[in-house]
Structure 1
Amino acid sequence: MVEGKRVIVKRKRKKKKKRKLILFVILLLLISAVAFSVFQYWEGKKAAEDRINDPERNEEMEEYAKDFEASEPVDGKLNMLLLGEDSDEYGISRTDTIMIGQYDVDNDRAKLVSIMRDTYVNIPGYGYNKINVAYANGGPELLRQTIKNNFDIDIHHYAIVDFEGFGHIIDTIAPDGVEIDVEKQMNYTDNAGGLHIDLEPGMQTLSGEELLGYARFRHDGESDFGRVRRQQQVMSVLKEELLSFSSIIKIPKVVGTLIPYVNTNMSETDIGRYAVSFLSNTPGEIETLRIPVELPNSYWPVDHSHAGEVLEIDEAMNRQALEDFLERGINPLEEDSSNSEMETQQ
């Protein structure tokens, strides 16, 4: 009887030791993971150290953030203004990429709206002009006001990436390149803008600089319409690349690299919080829309003496389409397709 009790006591001690060992190993792994993440984060920042110490850039970032009148997300839907920036030959900032990215935290959905840069809108204080003129004249805040006034959509944060930064970020996410199906021969050189595109058709593995060229190419029959479509394609490919296992372990380094190359009013804490949420509750395919929408009488080209060739739009139609897409989860193009099929059947 006594011997039996001793055996039971010994077994209990062994179980306790085993539990302690397991807990110790888990704790060690967690500490190692945190240490690795911190190391990777600072490695990313170190790689872009010259950007962090750029006083002119830092001053611009502070000015934009101070002016931006952000509202808080409603119903878990974060609307982010995503801008691609470069400078003209006189050093004036301009954007040929204007997107609204929406992350619906509660429903794990991601949406992307591209607004054509030549869309003719009413800019507060400036009158009607191309929408990218709002950014040139008043930065992200004037662009936020313009989107709110014309489309009644609230923007909560902005992120501006210059084209040099885009290439660096891509090379950090995918140092071996990104696979993409190049649809046609693409050749274009802009020495003044530092842009050189030379791509062959077919499945290609592109570096950050080459992928940027693919996304910016517009010297064909599709012009800006083709560029917007390719930009949305690139964003979807990058989302899949970022979520691959090999890229997930580099997330801290990606964030560290991203911060110096991205001008944003979002805090590093919020960036980390949304990144964790995105990775732990991965949205499915990114839903996309373009403004002006591809519906009958949605837009038409017009040449104005003060603005050049623009896209005038049916404001009510495009405002409704954008609201339906972002707020109600209705894709106006799918609705129109369904209606057309019903009319054909009748």
Structure 2
Amino acid sequence: MRTEKQKKRKKKFARKLGLTFVTLLTIFVGLVGYMYWQYRDGVEQAKSETSIQQEEYVFDGNEDINGNTNVLLLGSDTRGEKQARSDTIMIAQYNPNTGKPKLVSIMRDSYVDIPGHGKNKINTAFSLGGPDLLRKTIKENFGIELQYYAIIDFQGFEKMIDVAFPDGVEIEVEKQMSEKIGVTINPGLQRLDGEHLLGYVRFRQDKIGDFGRVERQQQAIQAIKDQLISLDGVTKLPKLVGAVTPFVNTDIGTTDTLFIGKDVLTGGASTIETLRIPVDNGYTNERYSGAGAVLDLDFEKNSTAIQEFLSK
């Protein structure tokens, strides 16, 4: 008698367990389907806005010794040349244990040793050998491993912002800007579309020149992160990734992009930690034949700073 009741209870429990599993599986499949639909919707929307041709690069990247993911972020100013220089050079780091994002900006006039090509400005490495030569240059001069790369040109940046943020990106503009950026940006809290945000991150016609531009680039990335969070970015992330994909040349897979993006948006860090290379008192202004005006680095000071920053 007791055995019969035990059998019935086991069958009832097995049915409930089976129904629970089927329900969870259905929800999971539905969620994956919705995310894929959102991603494809973003891709199709962006494709209608871009004619940018993607170039495939060889990139022999390696994982950071501490298990972090370091991505070489490049802004490329083509201006019609066959081989463009990298106008913006950054290292974005993602810590898989904490989800904490970090950002290092390397100023384009930094005077470094480019493997196989002698000494020159660091942005010359991209025009000579693409992102992989730039990866080797950063490894040789600063001892930092880079696992992936992501490149966006100015045309792509402008259109990407308009597709991903149709209402603009909110920025606190510190001064009026207009010289050599093609637009006029007024001071104060502004919502900048792609054209004006591009002008904001390119502006350098003031006393601090490229140093101010690097700071504004870091501010713009923080503002984009903040807006993603305020827009319930996790649920919108698949569509946003789809929207920016046609504008970005990268070797990071879509799944990894979604995973990293989710962790960065939902992680405990509200701000992106930033560093600029060269650091204060870590360079002198020099002029060399074949390179022009450069930032001559104190490599011991700058290498120590970047390694300590990325290893914390």
Alpha-carbon distance in structure 2 between the residues aligned to 1:53 and 1:183:
34
Alpha-carbon distance in structure 2 between the residues aligned to 1:92 and 1:47:
29
- Residue aligning to 2:309: 325
Alpha-carbon distance in structure 2 between the residues aligned to 1:53 and 1:254:
19
Amino acid at match of 2:286: V
- Residue aligning to 2:168: 177
Alpha-carbon distance in structure 2 between the residues aligned to 1:145 and 1:284:
32
SS in 1 for 2:137: helix
In the superposition, relative to structure 1, how do residues 221 and 74 fare at CA in structure 2: closer, same or farther (>3 Å)?
A: same
- Residue aligning to 1:309: 293
Amino acid at match of 1:112: L
Aligned residue pairs total: 298
Q: Give the Å deviation of 1:24.
A: 8.8
Deviations 1:54-99 (A, max 9, x none): 6xx34x22xx1x3x11112433311111100121343432211100
Per mean C-alpha deviation after superposition, the further-off stretch among 22-31 and 276-285 is 22-31
CA contact (8 A) 1:88 1:94 kept: no
Structure 2 counterpart of 1:292, from 278, 286, 292: 278
| Structure label with greater radius of gyration | 1
- Residue aligning to 1:168: 159
- Residue aligning to 2:188: 202
Aligned-residue CA RMSD in angstroms?
2.6
Residues 1-346 of structure 1 aligned to structure 2 (within 5 Å): 32-49=30-47, 57-58=53-54, 60-61=55-56, 64=57, 66=58, 68-189=59-180, 195-295=181-281, 298-327=282-311, 329=312
Q: Say which structure is richer in helix.
A: 1
- Residue aligning to 1:337: none
TM-score, reference length from structure 2:
0.87
SS in 1 for 2:184: strand
- Residue aligning to 1:339: none
CA contact (8 A) 1:173 1:242 kept: no
The one of the two structures with greater contact order (alpha-carbon pairs below 8 A, sep at least 6) is: 2
Give the unaligned 5+ runs of structure 1: 1-12, 190-194, 330-346
Amino acid at match of 1:317: K
SS in 2 for 1:301: strand
CA contact (8 A) 2:69 2:93 kept: yes
Identity of aligned residues (%): 45
CA contact (8 A) 2:73 2:150 kept: yes
Give the unaligned 5+ runs of structure 2: 1-11
CA contact (8 A) 2:89 2:106 kept: yes
Q: Give the Å deviation of 1:180.
A: 1.0
CA contact (8 A) 1:95 1:132 kept: yes
Deviations 1:308-339 (A, max 9, x none): 10010111111111111112x2xxxxxxxxxx
Alpha-carbon distance in structure 2 between the residues aligned to 1:311 and 1:112:
20
Q: Give the Å deviation of 1:279.
A: 3.7
Deviations 1:200-249 (A, max 9, x none): 11111111221111111111111101000000111111111112244333
